[in-house]
Structure 1
Amino acid sequence: MREITRRAALGLLAAPALVGRARAQATRLRLAHPHPDSDSWNRAARLFAARVAERSGGALQVQVFGNGALGSDPTTIAAARGGTLDIVLTGNPFFTGLAPKLNVLDLPFLFRERRHVAAVLDGPIGRQLLGELEGANLHVLGFWDIGFRNVTNSRRPVAVPADLRGLKIRTTPNPAHIKAFQLLGANPAPMPFTELFTALETRTVDGQENPTTLILNARFYEVQRHLSLTRHAYTAGILAMSKARWESLPEPQREAVAAAAEEVTPQQRQMNEDAEASSVAELKAKGMQVVEAPDRAAFAAIVAEEVRRDFASRFGAELPEAIAGAGA
């Protein structure tokens, strides 16, 4: 009995060492994104990490760094392309410098609702667009959801296009976003998301445009008084892996990563859609004044066709026309 007890004790002592060796042998993948910890991106990224670990039998361990901890949107994309970061998750507009045709997804008033978005992103058009990034040293794992964008500012309610004139509005660096706000008479000021709260707080910019879920989770209500539900454009997020890192993984591990991304992507989209339903009420409770029914037709009349023509002049009209007709 004493011998059995001694062996059991030795086994217990050895167990942590065995676990430690197993963890040390695991391949660690760092995933960076700019959104707050409370956002669906962070929750879904941690779910993705858990699924990768499960599907790889613990051989892969994904570490999630949110809230811009590893740098701004351009910085993390550059790091993933250069191989010093394994996985990057950020908004489609920040990838359009590498793959300009992706700009089509950000054309104003192009998407009707989320079912239309899914029909495009998960179909042949989405696959075609993701292929555009393969030459940029990135392997794309999926389209995640950011949502339909709305305008906030610290100066006045925005109900009609004229209300935007003269306001300095932070946009992404995407040409479609910049052009749209120029047409509306605003002064677009592109900057990374990680710099935005401070710019709003110091009044470096008057306002910004993002989905209500992100306005809430980033606490923009602390530095913005007015919200207008313009829903003027949809924005997707792109989950992409360093191509060098992807190619370095054995095939079973690639399959584990791809399967985890395929499983979690629709869950993240649903998380965001569910959160959007209650976010406006929460923003009102935080003190924001909300214009719930701005004149969207008036906004669309100024920007939709003009920005689409600008895209078509460079890349042809086929993509926007295909997107407009998808899922109908």
Structure 2
Amino acid sequence: MASITRRTALALLAAPAVLGTARAQATRLRLAHPHPETDSWHRASLRFADLVKERSGGALTVQVFPNGSLGSDPTIISAARGGTLDIALTGNPFFTGLAPKLNVLDLPFQFQDRRHVAAVLDGPIGNGLRAELEPAGLHALGFWDIGFRNVTNSRRAVATPADLRGLKIRTTPNPAHIKAFQLLGANPAPMPFTELFTALETRAVDGQENPTTLILNARFFEVQRHLSLTRHAYTAGILAMSKTRLEALAPAQREVVIATAAEVTPQQRQMNEDAEAGSLAELKRRGMQIVEAPDRDAFAKLVVDETRQEFATRHGAQLPEAIAAATPGA
């Protein structure tokens, strides 16, 4: 697929009328994600939909399905690959079965902050990782933000690795997440996000790990008492479109989708970053008991070397090393 130049993108965004046909001939694209309607994923998806419609002159419409209404994380990815869904938005760990090198983004204690994240995701490393999904029939339109993960549970405060021993913790299916919690003495239980609230409510699992924004938006405070700000891993989301569906669009429409996704992606990340402090304050107000300064060095000491070595054994050490060396603006 031909790449879009910056000049072409700006011209397209400035002149939406030339791209459209009659409204009666509009092509509908369906976008599904597992997060609640209160989450930045949904707000950014609606903005993406509005801009695509405007900039295509009404020739394209995007219908957004939040909250797992079209299925779990693996289900919507499978549907996008199979052509029954146009755009899937879910966490990077759920794509790693199709493109194992994407596992590198989920290695624990890898990113210093969101500036480091942006230097990786928006540069050559991120571009190369997005291309890994092409053979699976998916075109990655952008890396969205889930954020830095923190541990919650219903049994006890977690300040040191010893406090995790024996707890059954829901994780993503990413090998690095699973391995890290095994090394910490917990019992990892991978499952789709759409099944998580019920699993916590019924005590099928003791806890889970997600950013504070998602802990709040998914109302996990209703079924979890303890929150520990471990920030043990960063998680990106991937906005991925069926490659067949994208290539079937008229060239000008295709470029509108690609350019608009590129514009909305940093906006979504900023929404999430802006919401972080407020989400923590609200979780406190809702009664969660928070360990704000757990022994992160002790957690990192137990998990970093083994998880990176396991990745390097399978895929080489070049990607983790490149991520470590990436600097903002590089």
The runs of 4+ residues in structure 1 deviating greater than 2 Å are: 21-24
1:134 Cα deviation (Å)?
Answer: 0.3
Partners in 2 of 1:57 and 1:136 — Cα distance?
31
Residue matched to 2:83: 83
Partners in 2 of 1:24 and 1:301 — Cα distance?
60
1:187 matches 2:187? yes
User: SS at 1:304's partner residue?
Assistant: helix
Residue matched to 2:100: 100
Q: Pairwise mapping of residues 28-177 of structure 1 onto structure 2 (< 5 A)?
A: 28-177=28-177
1:24 Cα deviation (Å)?
Answer: 3.2
1:259 Cα deviation (Å)?
Answer: 1.1
1:54 Cα deviation (Å)?
Answer: 1.2
1:270 Cα deviation (Å)?
Answer: 0.2
Normalising by structure 1, we get a TM-score of 0.93
Residue matched to 1:200: 200
1:293 matches 2:259? no
Partners in 1 of 2:94 and 2:114 — Cα distance?
21
Partners in 1 of 2:139 and 2:325 — Cα distance?
28
Q: Pairwise mapping of residues 9-20 of structure 1 onto structure 2 (< 5 A)?
A: none
Deviation string 1:17-37 (CA, Å, 9 cap, x unpaired) is: xxxx94431000000000000
1:263 matches 2:272? no
Deviation string 1:242-286 (CA, Å, 9 cap, x unpaired) is: 111011001000111011101100100000000012111100000
Residue matched to 1:14: none
User: SS at 2:31's partner residue?
Assistant: strand
Matched to 2:325, the amino acid is G
Residue matched to 2:24: 24
Partners in 1 of 2:254 and 2:140 — Cα distance?
12
Residue matched to 2:316: 316
Matched to 1:218, the amino acid is A
Matched to 1:179, the amino acid is K
Partners in 2 of 1:184 and 1:267 — Cα distance?
35
Residue matched to 1:272: 272
Partners in 2 of 1:22 and 1:186 — Cα distance?
57
Residue matched to 1:227: 227
Matched to 1:170, the amino acid is R
Partners in 1 of 2:94 and 2:250 — Cα distance?
30
Partners in 2 of 1:160 and 1:74 — Cα distance?
33
Partners in 2 of 1:55 and 1:100 — Cα distance?
35
Partners in 2 of 1:223 and 1:113 — Cα distance?
29
Matched to 2:221, the amino acid is Y
Partners in 1 of 2:311 and 2:321 — Cα distance?
11
Matched to 1:200, the amino acid is L
Residue matched to 2:8: none
Partners in 2 of 1:277 and 1:254 — Cα distance?
37
User: SS at 2:204's partner residue?
Assistant: coil
User: SS at 1:62's partner residue?
Assistant: strand
Matched to 1:34, the amino acid is P
Residue matched to 1:250: 250
User: SS at 1:227's partner residue?
Assistant: strand
Partners in 2 of 1:252 and 1:306 — Cα distance?
47
User: SS at 2:42's partner residue?
Assistant: helix
Partners in 2 of 1:232 and 1:63 — Cα distance?
34
Partners in 2 of 1:271 and 1:51 — Cα distance?
17
Q: Which runs of 5+ in 2 are unaligned?
A: 1-20
1:120 Cα deviation (Å)?
Answer: 0.1
Count of aligned pairs: 308
Partners in 1 of 2:74 and 2:84 — Cα distance?
14
Larger radius of gyration: 1
Deviation string 1:213-255 (CA, Å, 9 cap, x unpaired) is: 0000000000000000000000000001011101100100011
Normalising by structure 2, we get a TM-score of 0.92
Partners in 2 of 1:157 and 1:24 — Cα distance?
57
User: SS at 2:259's partner residue?
Assistant: helix
Matched to 1:74, the amino acid is P
